[in-house]
Amino acid sequence: MNNRVFNTLQSVFGFSSFKKNQEAIVSSILDGRDVFAAMPTGGGKSLCYQLPSILLPGITVVVSPLIALMKDQVDSAVQIGISAAYINSSLDKDKTIQIYRDLQKNKIKLLYISPERFALTTFIQTLSQLNISLFAIDEAHCLSDWGHDFRPDYLSLTNIRKFFPNTVIAAFTATATKQVQSDIIYKLDLIRPFITRASFDRPELSYRVVRKSKTKDQLLKLTKDRVGKAGIIYRTSRNDVEKTAAFLVANGIKALPYHAGLEERVRTGNQEKFNCDETDVIVATIAFGMGIDKSNIKYVIHGDLPKNIEGYYQETGRAGRDGSDSECILLFSRGDSVKINYFINKIEDIHEQEKSRHNLNKILRYASRNVCRRKQLLSYFEEEHPGNCNNCDVCNNENELIDITVDSQMILSA
């Protein structure tokens, strides 16, 4: 192993060894080779670009969609002695100018930037005056409209290669099917990239599908049985988020709502309370999540059928980040699939409609087939699992078979 790399791992980050795939990724980057890395949440992606940022001669630019998290990331990088900064819409003009000056003087090694900046040619031109050694694209699945979290802002990242034909680009994501992977590689124009896909298996997570009947009562029972443990309940609509949270609170559960319709102050306040264990449960739409870094979440319950497996996997992945046994429970009723299908039929773009229907069929199969849930989830990411995981309702013979033949026929033929 390269001594310089290992010394940095120990002396700067305080880690005695690499996590899986980190070393290969870091080596590729330092060798000047593009990278595509799919690693599960908690896999340690940040280190894969932070460590090279110290050793590379020029600046490492990190593109991240999460403005709210940038400050934290920069603060923690600074804390371990990396000269880091960020540029996003939250900065005032003076501060931004100051950062550009520092960049020109090579005073900043690690720079976080939000994706929409890249839509401005003037911005890229400014960047091209600097000595940039690496572009790290975090949450790279946002580039692909095959993924569950496409962000149009990310499309301007296709400009990077045009302006920086010789700079290393490394793409990172926690969720990527092969389709999303090819799309990312194509859009960023990665050149013979080193591709690595960590196993997506999370053995500490148990999966269960429960027949949904009286949702609120079921959710109350589930949370009551888990009082004092941190959990997320996902609901599809904002209205259901509010109602569920209120119902739980009225029944003595410490719960708070989270959705994009809440006032910013309330929303971040609730997230904060959840983070520091002031509330047990957060009831949320899928607006809650990407980038949350709470390690002791013991369960994630979906009160409604998610739209696709990729999103479901990502949302459940927020449980058990400390490696302890945690639960993923999906409440499933035939009615949910009918509802989703109703909205799919209203999508005008035929291509989009087909994709959504394909995704719905996959999650319907997941919820209704008598096949090891883990095997099914992993096969979605084209990873073979032998089944018999002994940590899902099917393997433990606890599953209730839910007949969806009628719905799926309807959906398939629609």
Q: Which residues would be at the binding site for ligand ADP (CB under 6 A)?
A: 15, 18-19, 22, 39, 41-47
φ, ψ of residue 144 in degrees (nearest 5): -110, 130
- Which of Mg ion, ligand ADP, none lies near 18, with the C-beta cut-off 5 to 8 A by kind? ligand ADP
Crossing angle of helices 3-11 and 45-55, in 10° steps, is 110
**For ligand ADP, the closer CB: 44 or 269:** 44
The residue among 45 and 141 lying less far from Mg ion, judged by its C-beta, is 45
CA–CA gap between residue 223 and residue 245 (Å, rounded): 11
Q: Which does 42 bind (CB under 5 to 8 A by kind): ligand ADP, Mg ion, none?
A: ligand ADP
Task: Closer to Mg ion by CB, 56 or 140: give it.
Answer: 140
Smallest gap, in angstroms, from Cβ of residue 33 to Mg ion? 21
Which one, 39 or 389, has the nearer CB to Mg ion? 39
Of 134 and 364, nearer to ligand ADP (C-beta) is 134
Instruction: Say which entry of Mg ion, ligand ADP, none residue 274 contacts (CB below 5 to 8 A, set by partner kind).
Output: none
Spatial separation of the C-alpha atoms in residues 158 and 156, rounded to whole Å: 5
Residue 45 beta carbon to Mg ion: minimum distance, rounded to whole angstroms: 5
CA distances to 303, 306, 327, 330, 335 from 393, rounded to whole Å, are 17, 19, 11, 11, 22
Distance in angstroms (rounded) separating the CA atoms of residues 302 and 119? 36
Q: Indicate the residue among 62 and 363 with the shorter CB distance to ligand ADP.
A: 62
Dist. CA 172–CA 48, nearest whole Å: 9
SS3 state of residue 80:
coil
Query: What is the rounded CA–CA span in Å between residue 15 and residue 225?
Result: 37
Q: Are 399 and 393 in contact (CB under 8 A)?
A: yes
**47 contact choice in ligand ADP, Mg ion, none (CB below 5 to 8 Å, kind-dependent):** ligand ADP
d(CA 171, CA 41): 14
Helices (H), 256-370: 264-275, 309-316, 334-346, 350-368
Could you tell which of ligand ADP, Mg ion, none binds residue 123, using a CB distance below 5 to 8 A set by kind? none
Instruction: Give me the least distance between CB of 294 and ligand ADP, in Å please.
Output: 11
Judged by beta carbon distances under 5 to 8 A according to partner kind, the member of ligand ADP, Mg ion, none in contact with residue 41 is ligand ADP
For 112-165, what is the HEC assignment? Answer: EECHHHHHCHHHHHHHHCCCEEEEEECCHHHHCCCCCCCCHHHHHHHHHHHHCC
**Residues 6 or more apart in contact with residue 269 via CB below 8 angstroms:** none
Tell me how far, at minimum, the Cβ of 350 lies from ligand ADP, in Å. 36
CB of 98 to ligand ADP, least distance (A): 28
- Total number of residues that touch Mg ion (CB under 5 A): 1
Nearer to Mg ion (CB atom), residue 18 or residue 332: 18
- Which of the choices ligand ADP, Mg ion, none does residue 19 contact, using the CB cut-off of 5 to 8 A by kind? ligand ADP
Residues 26-85 that bind Mg ion (CB under 5 A): 45
The CB-side HSE value for 183 (13 A sphere, CA atoms) comes to 18
Contact 99, 134 (CB under 8 A): no
- Structure tokens belonging to residue 410: 């309807």
Closest to ligand ADP by CB, 9 or 330: 9
> Which tokens in the block code for residue 396?
């433990």
Least Å distance, CB 56 to ligand ADP, is 18
| Least Cβ distance, residue 30 to ligand ADP (angstroms) | 16
> Nearest residue by C-beta to Mg ion?
45
Minimum CB distance to ligand ADP, residue 172 (Å):
7
**Chosen from ligand ADP, Mg ion, none, partner binding at 39 (C-beta under 5 to 8 Å by type):** ligand ADP
Task: Give whichever of 11 and 104 is closer to ligand ADP, judged by the CB atom.
Answer: 11
Interacting partner of 212 out of ligand ADP, Mg ion, none (Cβ under 5 to 8 A depending on kind): none
- For the record, the structure tokens of 260 come out as 């994009």
C-beta of residue 71 within 8 angstroms of C-beta of residue 86: yes
Q: What is the rounded distance in angstroms from the CA atom of residue 264 to the CA atom of residue 282?
A: 16
Between residues 22 and 167, which has the closer beta carbon with respect to ligand ADP?
Answer: 22
Q: 41 near 321, Cβ under 8 Å?
A: yes
Neighbouring CB atoms inside 10 A of 8's CB total: 17
Residue 133 binding result from ligand ADP, Mg ion, none, given CB thresholds of 5 to 8 Å by partner type: none
Contacting residues toward Mg ion, per CB under 5 A: 45
